[in-house]
Amino acid sequence: MISRVLVPMDGSEMSEHALEYALEAYPTAEITVLRVVGEPSPLWGEASGLALAEDFEEAAQDLAASTFERARELVADAEGDADLETIIELGHPVRAIVNRADDYDTVVVGSHGGTVADNLYVGNVAKKVVHQSPTPVVVVR
């Protein structure tokens, strides 16, 4: 029986589909939404705001706030009794997801998050999570 589900969300439509799937497939499970905030890299992205912020934790929470707000909306709209927990991690998405995966029965991940440039530079996060996760992964398209 699946009782604990990890759903990484990055604010993309595909990550929302992953949460919707998890809520439908596991209506009584404890759902944890993981928002990975990027570490500084040559492309910087959202990490530039973190690097320049006076209060790092507050800046990370600000970046994750809209993702968590949307997750709560999706949970409220879903039928079922799912509990929602939210977690923020700093770092590379694949490492952060895989490091947490062992604490869950399954990981539900969207298949196409981020921009085309992100996918070219970083690679497909879902594919890497499937290959590296210690627990089963459901990929939602």
Q: How confident is the model at residue 16 (pLDDT cuts 50, 70, 90)?
A: very high
Residue type present at position 31: I
Choose the weakest-confidence range: 48-57, 74-83, 89-98, 106-115: 48-57
CA dist., res. 68 & res. 88, Å (int): 10
Q: Which two tokens stand for residue 129?
A: 């999570």
| 100: DSSP letter | H
Residue 78 has, within 13 A of its CA and on its CB side, a CA count of 26
- Given this model, what pLDDT does residue 17 score? 95
The better pLDDT of the pair 60, 133 is held by 133
Choose the weakest-confidence range: 43-47, 69-73, 76-80: 43-47
- Given this model, what pLDDT does residue 140 score? 92
Longest dimension (CA), the chain: 44
Sequence spans of domains, the chain: 4-140
pLDDT of 104-129, one tens digit each? 999 999 987 455 655 554 447 888 99
Average confidence (pLDDT) over 87-91: 91
Q: Which fold has domain 4-140?
A: Rossmann fold (3.40.50)
CA dist., res. 49 & res. 118, Å (int): 17
